[in-house]
A and B are shown apart, each in its own frame.
Chain A
Amino acid sequence: MVNLTLYTVKAVVMLDSEGGRVLAKYFGSDYSSAKDQKAFEKGLYDKTKRAPHGEILLFDNQVVLYRFHEDVFFYIVGMPEENEAMLLVILNAFSDAVSMLLRHQISKRVILENLDLVVLALDETIDEGIVLETDPSAIVARVSKPRENLSDVPLSEQTLIQAYQTAKEKFGTALLK
């Protein structure tokens, strides 16, 4: 059946390299119980772990698009008849937004350390199965960062590499202006 509604995404799931859940959000009633979700994730992981760059498959009568970063899988689950190109845009939007927020260092550790940013990015990308925004920079702009307490930031915590990277970024934006 052709989907005449705005409900496009059934689930967004992030799994680590052992198939454990990093973050998951299911919309609608298809996988409402924790048991169904676990079974779904396990099957999904088994089918994708050998082909981390396959990007797309049919699984459990759903179209699933996925992307692998370092040690984390990003999955977007859509209805079987959904337009794959639409889902791809959604996956790209979310994955790129997260990547920008985490400054291109996606890994399980970084995601967990910055989970607030990631859950907000997800919330700004999809609202109960309806895609809210597909422009990754707009999503990034909508994710607020915690206000800092100056006193809590010992300079020593910054590594040289990080300092270099921020400098590079700042320089880049300055040039763009």
Chain B
Amino acid sequence: MSFSKRDEDSGRIGYHHYFDKTTVLQEARVFNESPINARKCRALLTKILYLISLGETFGTTEATELFFSVTKLFQSKDSALRQMVYLVIKELSTVAEDVIMVTSSLMKDMQPTSEVMYRANAIRVLRKITDASMLQGLERFLKAAIVDKNAKVSSAALVSSYHLYAIAREVVKRWANEAQEAINAKPQSVVSAASSYVTSFGNAPQAYTAVSNSNIVQYHALGLLYAIRQKDRMAVSKLVQNYAAKSGLSGSVLRSPFAQCLLVRYACKVMEEDPSSTRAVYELLEGWLRHKSEMVNLEAAKAICEMKDATVKELFPAVTTLQNFLSSGKPSIKFAAIRALNKLAMSQPAAVAPCNIDMENMITDQNRSISTFAITTLLKTGNEASVERLMKQISGFMSEITDESKVLVVEAVGSLCIKFPAKHHVMLSFLSGALRDDGGYDFKRAVVEAIFNFVKYIPESKEAALSHLCEIIEDCEYSKLSVKILHLLGVEGPKCPQPTKYIRYIYNRVILENAVVRGAAVSALAKFGVNVEDEAVKQSVKVLLSRCLDDADDEVRDRATMYLNVIKSGDEKGYVKDDSTYALAYLERQLLNYVSNPELADTPFDLSTVPKISRQEEQESRGPLEQAGAIQSLGGRISPPHSGTASNGAGARPAASTTPSLDQQAVYAQKLAEVPEFASFGPLFKSTAKPVELTESETEYVVSCVKHVFAQHIVFQFNIKNTLNDSVLEDVNVLMTPDNDEVSLVEKVLIPAPQLVYDVPGIAYVAFERTVLEDYPECTFTNELKFIVKDCDPQTGEPDEEGFEDDYQVEEVSLAIADFVLPSYIPSFNKAWEDLGIDYEVVETLALTTSPGLQEACRDLIALLGMQALENSGTVQGSNVHTMILSGIFIGGAQVLARCRMTYDSATGVTLQLAIRSTNGEVSQILIGAIA
């Protein structure tokens, strides 16, 4: 028998178009024939796989029946058939029932005496059908298979263990030593491995005795080892040191480039978690730049480019490596290099500039993804003179590239406008040209956002940009975008010298568009009516708005009516010019609570408890993405959403501090809602913004506390972390003792943290009830942790049976008036102040002896009252006189305003005249009490 014959005849199944599921199910009878016709069966199994691949689905009964007739084929000794059987079983196992029945057949195939092909594949199949409970029984086999001499068996076992780790962490954890052994195993000799395989073929052709040269088994073993150890920072760091160090003269232990890439990633993770290791890891990364494998070089170069605060000098070797890749013959490598450089150019254009000449050559690259990256990178690193030329080049092939690339280009252009404002006309015409191309919503939105940037940051381009926007809404298929643009026109249009020209465009929308856009257009029109001084314009807007009174849509009609009245009555401030909005996350939560609670259905929803924030803050809290977008255009760089700049941006503005805390509060509220004991407490009123640290950060147990205030209850949440890797804490309670016995608080609920293992934070709760509703107690609690401590093995985390009781003192927590006040924004303090009147005003003059200066006094007052400083009055401008205005909501919904007039004299310190007005006299008294 010749080889050629064999191949010629290989299970030919031809085109499959003529068969479908029904015929295949009928043909499945062939599986029951005896003796088994291996070739026929294999062909039919292939058909089944093909059907599945084409998207055909089998019902549970069908799949189960098929599954069991397929398992009959285990009787056949034909290895070619068996391999196909394994594959089909894997595919059907997700649908069929009782698949566990084949376990014994598979176990038999897994035995060390079986052929390699049987063993490796049986392990992989078994992994699919087994579950955590059965794993105990398989453990011995799998452990042995991991360290098997044959790489194929070892790989199969490692990969299967890796999949299993997700469902049976505790069991797989114990295989770390075997994984380690697999990494260190010597490469198998070609002959011994091959021979065992050849037997499965009988007289198999010698050409196919090749054994793997990839050493990929090390990659699998390293991946598994890391998965097992990832929680243990020290172990990971040791892992990296261990394998990185051995890349000395004799070559590394890790021969697999895939494994080396993993090691690069782990090294970066170590660096991220322990900044002190930066130097050492950088040196390792630099070494990997010289590794003989391209993928390792690339991985290391990317890692260096991602390093935070790397200097141009540190980046240099990585950039050089990437520069070499730019001239690679492989498109993928070129792509990888230019993509990494493009990303780097966002933050460090100077470091990338040396590659400019290479990138120029890539502008005309065959692969459009590559040329797009080249151009957008050049736009960032290049000079003003080249901008025009690059824009021209790229508009030549905008239509050919994917939406993702288009968005990249548009974003690059959008951030460029800040850098070269003089070129704004070129960029604007490019963007409006780009809009005419086909493209999805994301692309169009990117273009519109980019044009918004022009309006925002380049005053001289504003008019041109606005007229481009007007053209866009003329035929825009996305209502969302139209609404966005109409809103901007409404804000910016009235400030322009010729507002009338935009009115025409906006009114056109009222005539032609759907209800959503019409509504937005009406609102935009109204802004013209209010903000434009010219009486003639006001008059014409009124005429236009009155035409909308007959609109078919309720919302549009209502808006028109409202705005008409607003313009007529002259009460514009309250509606059109109002720049405050409700804290949306908080509002949403309150509404949800209102809707889900049937008892509240009889009473109207109470808006007064919802804090207000300014539009500006609302914009800032919109989510990190947009924020990063704003920063990107400010600094001409696109920062990744998680970078530090976003938080700096928010921190720079003291007024912005409430919004993040409200978002944080939403997170807490969700967590608390999961605790059934707290369900009866009602909606959460306030959580302290930042956890209070009750221990030093390097003690055995790190504890911090967050206070949650409900209508009548106060919940103390203790976040506790165990930093000892050789002990486990169980049943961790916090004993809170108030310093004042007469305080009107009763402990209601005590929820311990059930178990604290090393480095995984746990939470214990203590809840108090205020017994007298009108009393807002101030007191200090001493806190003590009570728990059972058990020793454990630092490696496995397995605790001893026996434990002993122990306690641990932590610092005090205090409850203050400020905890009952929610900071809230109001648009106009003076008006609100007048409206509240002097009915419930309380004024007191105090000397603030504890505050050394005005700024400190402001800070202390904000902390003591728990209110929000308005109109930037939280920052002291003058040197010895300052007035701070504050606003807040007291628990129960009463509005509170405070005016703090302060003088500073070096001899007497800060003198304060504090005036508090509120809708409730008692509240004013209570708050004054907080200071006095």
Contact = CB atoms under 8 A, between A and B. Distances in A.
Contacts of B43: 116, 146
A39 interface: no
Contact of A54 (B3, B155, B331): B331
B432 interface: no
A90 B366 CA distance: 23
Contact of B206 (A138, A142, A146, A173): A173
Interface string A140-151: 111111111110
Interface string B1-22: 1111111111111111000000
A143 B80 CA distance: 8
A54 B10 contact: no
Contacts of A6: 159, 162, 219-220, 223-224, 262
A23 B12 CA distance: 17
A146 B223 contact: no
Query: Which of B10, B38, B55, B400 has the most chain A CB atoms closer than 10 A to its own CB?
Result: B10
B53 A113 contact: no
B625 interface: no
Contacts of A85: 294-295, 298-299, 332-333, 336
Contact of B87 (A57, A58, A60, A120): A120
Given A114-B10, A116-B42, A54 B367 contact: yes
Give chain B's interface secondary structure class.
helix
B53 A169 contact: no
Interface in A19-73: 21, 23-25, 34, 37-38, 47, 50-51, 53-61, 65
Nearest to B404: A58
A141 B209 contact: yes
Interface string B172-206: 00000000000000000000000001001100011
Contacts of A138: 152, 210-214
A112 B38 contact: no
A153 to B, nearest CB: 5
Nearest to B56: A34
B357 interface: no
Interface in A72-121: 83-89, 103, 109, 112-117, 119-120
Interface string B44-78: 01100110011100000000000000000000001
A136 B693 CA distance: 57
B368 A51 contact: yes
A166 to B, nearest CB: 3
Interface stretch (B264-272, B592-600, B783-791): B264-272
B206 A177 contact: yes
Given A84-B332, A115-B49, A148-B5, A133 B216 contact: yes
Contacts of A135: 210, 212-214, 216
Contacts of A150: 1
B417 interface: no
A56 B4 contact: no
A166 B205 CA distance: 12
Contacts of B211: 138, 141
Tell which of A38, A50, A113 has the most Cβ of chain B within 10 Å.
A113
Contact of B13 (A56, A59, A113): A113
B83 interface: yes
Contacts of B13: 112-113, 115-116
A56 B16 contact: no
B206 A53 contact: no
Contacts of A142: 117, 120, 152, 197
Residue among B53, B55, B213, B219 with most chain A CB within 10 A = B53
Nearest to A138: B212
A13 B164 CA distance: 26
Given A6-B220, A24-B53, A173-B206, A113 B298 contact: no
A53 B156 CA distance: 34
B925 interface: no
A61 B159 CA distance: 27
Interface string B313-352: 0000000000000000011110110010000000000000
Contact of A141 (B11, B81, B208): B208
B84 interface: yes
A166 B332 contact: no
A113 B46 contact: no
A148 B9 contact: yes
B7 A103 contact: yes
Interface in A119-177: 119-120, 123, 127-128, 130-135, 137-138, 140-150, 152-153, 157-158, 162-163, 166-167, 169-170, 173, 177
Nearest to A127: B159
B335 A86 contact: no
Nearest to A141: B208
A120 B84 contact: yes
A56 B404 contact: no
Given A23-B53, A54-B366, A166 B7 contact: yes
A151 to B, nearest CB: 11
B232 to A, nearest CB: 14
Nearest to A152: B9
B261 A88 contact: no
B102 to A, nearest CB: 17
B380 interface: no
B887 interface: no
Contacts of A152: 9, 39
Pick from B205, B213, B219 the residue with the most CB of A within 10 Å: B219
A131 B404 contact: no
Given A57-B369, A84-B333, A88-B330, A145 B6 contact: yes
Contacts of B45: 116
B402 A57 contact: yes
A143 to B, nearest CB: 8
Contact of B295 (A89, A120, A144): A89
Contact of B258 (A54, A127, A134): A134
B366 A84 contact: no
Contacts of B14: 112-113
B725 to A, nearest CB: 21
Contacts of A153: 5, 8-9
Given A57-B402, A132-B216, A158-B4, A141 B39 contact: no
Query: Of residues A143, A148, A150, A163, which shows the largest number of chain B Cβ atoms within 10 Å of its Cβ?
Result: A148
A62 to B, nearest CB: 9
A155 B159 CA distance: 44
B8 A158 contact: yes
A23 to B, nearest CB: 5
Interface in B365-398: 366-369
B124 interface: yes
Closest 8 CB pairs of A and B: A166-B4, A85-B295, A137-B210, A138-B212, A84-B336, A146-B11, A55-B331, A6-B223
Given A59-B404, A144-B117, A173-B206, 19 more contacts: A4-B262, A5-B223, A6-B220, A6-B224, A34-B55, A56-B367, A57-B369, A65-B332, A83-B295, A85-B299, A85-B333, A115-B16, A120-B83, A120-B84, A128-B163, A133-B216, A141-B211, A142-B117, A144-B200
Interface of B: 1-16, 38-39, 42-43, 45-46, 49-50, 53-55, 78-81, 83-84, 87, 90, 117, 120, 124, 152, 155-156, 159-160, 162-163, 197, 200-201, 205-214, 216, 219-220, 223-224, 226-227, 230, 257-258, 261-262, 265-266, 268-269, 294-295, 298-299, 302, 306, 330-333, 335-336, 339, 366-369, 400, 402, 404-405
Interface of A: 2-6, 21, 23-25, 34, 37-38, 47, 50-51, 53-61, 65, 83-89, 103, 109, 112-117, 119-120, 123, 127-128, 130-135, 137-138, 140-150, 152-153, 157-158, 162-163, 166-167, 169-170, 173, 177
13 contacts: A5-B223, A6-B162, A58-B405, A59-B404, A88-B330, A119-B49, A133-B155, A133-B214, A141-B208, A141-B209, A146-B42, A149-B9, A166-B7
